[in-house]
Amino acid sequence: WPAIALVLAFGLVVGLINGYTVVRTRLPSFIVTLATFFVLQGVNAAGTLKLTGTTAIQDIDSADGFASARHLFATDLTQYAFKVKVLWWISLTLVGAWILAKTRFGNWIYSAGGDPNAARNVGVPVARTKILLFMMTSGTAALMGVIEALELRSMQAKEGIGLEFIFIICAVVGGCLLTGGFGSVIGAFFGAAMLGMVQLGIVDAQWDSNWTYTFQGAILFAAVLLNLFVRNRAQKTR
């Protein structure tokens, strides 16, 4: 449990650093987070190797409190292997959707992403809003790392590397604009569900798993075109 708390706190600190860097330097968020990702990837692999002599952490389930932590984050709830992490996914989606739709902070998020200067002129704390968003995103990523570690009971230092662009595809397929100001948590939820079903469907159909990347690219391209078409139609209607 202390390790879980430390991981979550570290995730929030990473988000704070990324958000502060973006606000102060005005560099693109994608560049800052990608740079931090590569830095931490190297520190993680090299540090794990230095401390343990290997790039894998084994026997996580031998730690005190593992059973209770796994029960909360990564257990199967039914005989059909319905995982509790699905409930975490749904719960976080509902909380995020409520924040965006029903709170002042949600309005700040859309304003800061759509037109920061206009938002700042009407009193929106743009810098603070962006930093909090980075912290929320990084904290959620840390939580996902905890869930994966508890589920697998051992962890490679490079676990999850290469999936970062899949997360971007999920958001774009869900209707989020990479330029900011438009999108929804529910949309990203269904975008992730769609890509997950494609990946599982290809495996269940006993196709070559390499086709997964082809379908993901095609879905991304189609989603961007649909997004562009809808936005153009909306602007003409106005």
Average pLDDT, the chain: 87
Q: If you average pLDDT over residues 35-51, what whole number do you get? A: 90
pLDDT tens sequence across 213-226? 888 888 888 877 87
| Whole-angstrom distance, CA of residue 144 vs CA of residue 141 | 5
| List of residues 6+ apart from 145 with CB closer than 8 A | 7, 11, 160
Residue 238 has what pLDDT? Answer: 57
Whole-number CA gyration radius for the chain? 20
Which residue, among 46, 28, 55, has the nearest Cα to 130 in the 3D structure? 28
Q: How far is CA 61 from CA 8, 49, 78, 153, 157, in A?
A: 19, 20, 21, 6, 17
Residue 115 has what pLDDT? Answer: 83
pTM of the model: 0.84
pLDDT tens sequence across 94-109? 999 999 999 999 999 9
Instruction: Give the chain's length.
Output: 238
Eight-state DSSP code of residue 83: B
Cα 134–139–145 angle (5° rounding)?
130
Number of H helices and E strands in the chain, helices first, is 10, 2
pLDDT tens sequence across 107-148? 999 888 888 888 888 899 999 999 999 999 999 999 999 998
**The pLDDT of residue 182 is above 80:** no
